[in-house]
Amino acid sequence: MTPTVPRFEELAAPSHWRTVDFLSDLHLQASEPATVAAWQNYLQTTPADALFILGDLFEVWVGDDAIGEPGSFEAQACAALQAAAQRMDVHFMHGNRDFLAGPAFLRHCGITGLQDPAVLGFGGQRIVLSHGDLLCLEDVDYQRFRLQARSAQWQERFLAQPLAQRRAQARGIRAESEARKQSGAVYADVDGPAAIAWLQAAHATTLVHGHTHRPATHTLAPGLRRVVLSDWDAAAHPPRADVLRLTPQGLERIAIAPT
C-alpha cells in the first residue's frame, strides 16, 4: 500500500506536567486477573501527571452500554479509570480491539479522547503518538477491515445487536485471534518509509506506538526514531508490563512489577 500522511491532532503539554506515561496493548479481560491487578496497582501508584493510553487497553470493547450491566468487567475497569482521572490527566486513543469505545465511555471515566495520530508538544520536543496499526501497510486484509469497521454504518449495525449477541461475537473473535497466534502466523510490522513520512510531516523526531507487541527503539533515519510500547501479560514468564515514561530528561522504560 502507498504511504499516506493523515492529519495530526495537536496537543501541547501544560507547564505543570513533569512526568508523562505512555502504555498500550494491555488487552484487559476478566480471564487475565494478574494483568488487571498490575494495571490497577499501576494506576494507584504512578507519579505521572498525565497518562496516554495508545489503544488496545481492552481485549475487546462491545459497546458503551456494557458499562451499565451490573457487575460487568467493563464497569469495574471504568471505576479504576475514574479514580485515576481524579489524580492525573488521562487520554485514550482507540486501538484495533477497542475502537468501539465511544463518547459515553469517555464521559463515564472522565478521560479525554485522542485522535490517531496525534502530536504531543513537551519540553520543546514534538512526539508523534499512534496505536500503530495504520502504519502496518503490508497487512492489506486488516487495512481493508479497519476502513470498513471504522465507518458509521458498520458500527451502527454492530451496536444495534443485543449486548449478549455482541459478547458472543467477541468471544469468537478472541478464539480466532488466539488460534492464529498459536499457528505461528507472522504479523506485519510498521512500514519504515511511512513512519518517516509521518515524522517529517509533523516536524517531529520521535514516534511512539504500540500494536506490534515488539518493544524496541528503532533508528529510522538520522535524528528520527520510533519507540515501540510493550504489550502486557503479568502472568507470563517473565511477566510483561512496561510503561514508557517521559520526563524533561527523556524517555525511559519502567517495568511494572506484578502484584
DSSP assignments along 134-145, one per residue:
GG-TT-HHHHHH
d(CA 15, CA 31): 40
Report which residue type is found at 240.
Answer: R
Q: Is residue 5 part of a domain?
A: no
Q: Is residue 113 part of a domain?
A: yes
Q: Is residue 215 part of a domain?
A: yes
Of 211, 215, 202, 99, the C-alpha closest to 155 is 99
This prediction has a pTM of 0.95
The dihedral region occupied by 234, where left means phi > 0, alpha psi between -120 and 50, and beta the remainder, is alpha
d(CA 18, CA 254): 16
Q: Is residue 1 part of a domain?
A: no
- Residue 111 corresponds to which cell in the numbers above? 478521560
Q: Is residue 145 part of a domain?
A: yes
> Which CATH number characterizes residue 19's domain?
3.60.21.10
- Count the domains in the chain: 1
- Residue 39 corresponds to which cell in the numbers above? 494495571
Question: Are 38 and 234 in contact, with CB atoms under 8 Å apart?
Answer: yes
Q: Is residue 231 part of a domain?
A: yes
Q: Is residue 121 part of a domain?
A: yes
Beta bridge partner(s), residue 225: 206, 219
- Domain membership of residue 171 as a residue range: 12-255
Q: Is residue 77 part of a domain?
A: yes
User: Residue 3, CB half-sphere, CA atoms under 13 Å: how many?
Assistant: 14
- Residue-level pLDDT, tens digit, the chain, 259 residues: 556 789 999 999 999 999 999 999 999 999 999 999 999 999 999 999 999 999 999 999 999 999 999 999 999 999 999 999 999 999 999 999 999 999 999 999 999 999 999 999 999 999 999 999 999 999 999 999 999 999 999 999 999 999 999 999 988 877 877 777 677 677 889 999 999 999 999 999 999 999 999 999 999 999 999 999 999 999 999 999 999 999 999 999 999 988 7
